[in-house]
């Protein structure tokens, strides 16, 4: 896919690699947001309202990541591949279990998805830094910090 012209001082080859990396993480972020909404919509049990609201907060935080990633792609001259269909085809995250309703099961499933997403984001920090783009590395660092915080909020429900 051809890049749009920009005066950003990164080579076309570097920008192409960055756009590929960013689009991979965009697919994951879009998938993670939908997984958090799946948990939000379907959680049941004694902690319903707390988890229902928490899972919605996670989805909102991840939606901000989606926007940051997509806008960085277009800033670099790329095309953000951000539809749900593309996310489903390209996400590296495991499928979210559709049959669960129990709060603890959703906490386990969503914390696993958050941890897997965070692992991919940490790799992306290193990859973008290796490509000489500290701005993209910084964007991924911001997402990593927020993902770790959301993971803490979710995991706290099963830690004693």
- pLDDT tens track for 46-85: 999 999 999 999 999 999 999 999 999 999 999 999 999 9
Q: How does residue 33 score in pLDDT terms, banded at 50, 70 and 90?
A: very high
Cα–Cα distance measured from residue 153 to residue 1, given in angstroms and rounded to the nearest whole number = 39
The pTM of the full predicted model, rounded to 2 decimals, is 0.96
Architecture of domain 12-155: Up-down Bundle (1.20)
Mean pLDDT of the chain: 97
Q: What sign does the CA torsion over 28, 29, 34, 35 have?
A: positive
Residue 159: predicted pLDDT = 87
CA distances for 144 relative to 47, 78, 91, angstroms: 27, 22, 17
- pLDDT tens track for 115-153: 999 999 999 999 999 999 999 999 999 999 999 999 999
Residue 42: predicted pLDDT = 98
1 has pLDDT over 80: no
- pLDDT tens track for 122-131: 999 999 999 9
Percent of the chain with pLDDT over 90: 96
Q: How does residue 113 score in pLDDT terms, banded at 50, 70 and 90?
A: very high
Hey, which residues does 102 pair with through a beta bridge?
A: 44
21 has pLDDT over 90: yes
> What six digits make up the tokens of 151?
């993971």
Residue 160: predicted pLDDT = 75
Reduced to 3 states (helix: H, G, I; strand: E, B; else coil), residue 3 is coil
Cα–Cα distance measured from residue 30 to residue 137, given in angstroms and rounded to the nearest whole number = 19
């Amino acid at each position: 896919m051809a890049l749009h012209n920009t005066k950003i001082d990164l080579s076309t080859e570097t920008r192409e690699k960055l756009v590929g990396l960013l689009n991979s993480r965009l697919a994951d972020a879009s998938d993670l947001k939908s997984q958090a909404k799946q948990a939000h919509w379907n959680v049941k049990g004694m902690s319903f309202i707390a988890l229902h609201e928490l899972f919605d907060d996670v989805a909102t935080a991840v939606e901000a990541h989606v926007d940051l990633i997509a806008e960085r792609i277009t800033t670099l001259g790329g095309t953000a591949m951000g539809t749900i269909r593309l996310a489903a085809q390209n996400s590296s995250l495991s499928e979210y279990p559709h049959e669960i309703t129990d709060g603890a099961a959703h906490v386990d499933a969503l914390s696993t998805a958050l941890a897997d997403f965070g692992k991919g984001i940490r790799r992306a920090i290193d990859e973008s830094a290796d490509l000489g783009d500290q701005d993209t590395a910084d964007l991924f660092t911001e997402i990593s910090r927020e993902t770790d915080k959301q993971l803490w909020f979710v995991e706290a429900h099963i830690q004693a």
